[in-house]
Amino acid sequence: MNALLESLEPKTLWSYFLELSKIPRGSKSEAAAAAWVADQARNLGCEVDRDEVGNVIIRKKATPGREDRPTTCLQAHVDMVCEKNEGTDHDFTADPIQVWKDGDVLRAKGTTLGADNGIGVAAAMAVLADRNIAHGPIEALITIDEETGLTGANGLQAGRLKAKFLINLDSEEEGFLTIGCAGGVDTIATRKLTRTAPPAGSRAYRLKVFGLKGGHSGIDINAGRGNALRLLAQVLCFLKPEFGLALASINGGNKRNAIPREASAMIFLDPAREQALRQTLAAHEAHWRTALGAFDPGLHLALETGEATQAMSSTDADALLQLLMALPHGVEAMSPDIKDLVQTSTNLGVIETREDAVEVNLLTRSSIEASKVALTERIAAICALAGFESHTSGGYPGWKPEPEASLVRILNDVNQAVFGKPLEIMAIHAGLECGIIGEKYPGMEMVSIGPNMWDVHTPDEHVSVSSVGNFWKLLVAVLEAV
């Protein structure tokens, strides 16, 4: 047993999590991790099935004498968001996550930790391995590609699951019971580029924005954090005419569901004006640090030598910058029914410049379908005005809260018995797979629980060890009560 595992409880859960952390499992590249889950379940004597899209469906028989209890499905996703700090030497396709303990929390060295949703997968596996829990029939649904398209949930076929109850293990706040979530849809905007020679005598430089917190585009969208793409566009809109810049490319953000922490532009500049530009950048950095304040104090703007041979036309550059300035980012509306719940938002998430085209990706979320559609249509209109073509993809439904469901009552009663207080009932602005699964299984009662974790989808992601222990106690007690 390694030294880290010796300091963690419950050991079975953490053992599965640490083993899973050794397997690369970025979204759409999680096949090896899903196969590992299936192998572990087979080794435990469980019935294992793989569906057409790669989800793992596992069944464990009831404890003797409990065969007549309703079947409960434990649901988690095996993929993770792959984000790392600039300068971190980590290959998400090959390297294990470097997990370390910092007091009561686990972190990763310069990368996302994968507690979202590795803790959920590990908890489900620990239940399957535990011979001391008295429970009814159990199913475990471990889905693939939740983070970049909800592919696993979308591909799940009706009739595969037999459960009456589903406990989603993908929440991130102890003491809360999630019973609803927002739906979402992606917008992809593209424009073909005309390339030109850079101005005579100019030199290529890389202008970058970094040091921002980023965060989950649902959970953290109302936290006042900076968006590196928007900040870069605002700085460039001032610098381009002032310094006669030519723009070669803009790239930034890694996932459409993560608030961009870093972005950079390749520009051409008269080297005689380099020092003046550096001074102006320092002033802009001070200005935006003041504007962001304590919400996001780590902002940096930097200029370094770059490499580029061609610029995009001035018309294309202006259209791109104006689009980035005009597109919505952040909270569009708060819920009138649930205190402090974001109802509708958009995350301006990713921009990629290729040789012949530039592409911008956004994720719009709303718990109201009509609001989601209306904001998406407005985004399409802004794109058209800027000369960009756009289309939507990956739409998924919200999950309607059912506060009077029997599973909600069971969770509340168990939490009262174990911890001496009821759970806080809530809906979240983030997307969960429950909405999609609920459409395929309309009679299934669903809830979502999880331990305290913070800054998911960023290299600052960390999870509370003691909270995972409480999460495990609740889960075990619920399975014994169902």
Instruction: Report helix, strand or coil for 470.
Output: helix
What DSSP state is assigned to residue 401?
-
Among 30, 79, 262, 460, the one annotated catalytic: 79
Contact 345, 428 (CB under 8 A): no
Instruction: Report helix, strand or coil for 281.
Output: helix
Distance CA 242, CA 239 (A): 5
Query: 79 catalytic, yes or no?
Result: yes
Closest listed residue to residue 351, CA positions, set 251, 458, 468: 251
CA dihedral 446, 450, 453, 456 (to 10 degrees): -30
Distance CA 428, CA 338 (A): 10
Contact 167, 447 (CB under 8 A): yes
| Per-residue three-class SS string for 121-148 | HHHHHHHHHCCCCCCCCEEEEEECCCCC
- Cα 84 from chain centroid? 14
Upstream peptide bond of 117 is cis (omega within 30 degrees of 0): yes
Closest listed residue to residue 350, CA positions, set 363, 340, 360: 360
Among 116, 139, 145, 146, the one annotated catalytic: 146
CA dihedral 402, 404, 406, 407 (to 10 degrees): 50
One-letter identity of residue 224: G
Instruction: Report helix, strand or coil for 40.
Output: helix
- Cα 390 from chain centroid? 23
Any residues with CB less than 8 A from the CB of 108 and at least 6 apart, and which? Answer: 97, 98, 99, 100, 114, 459, 461
Q: Which residues are catalytic?
A: 79, 146
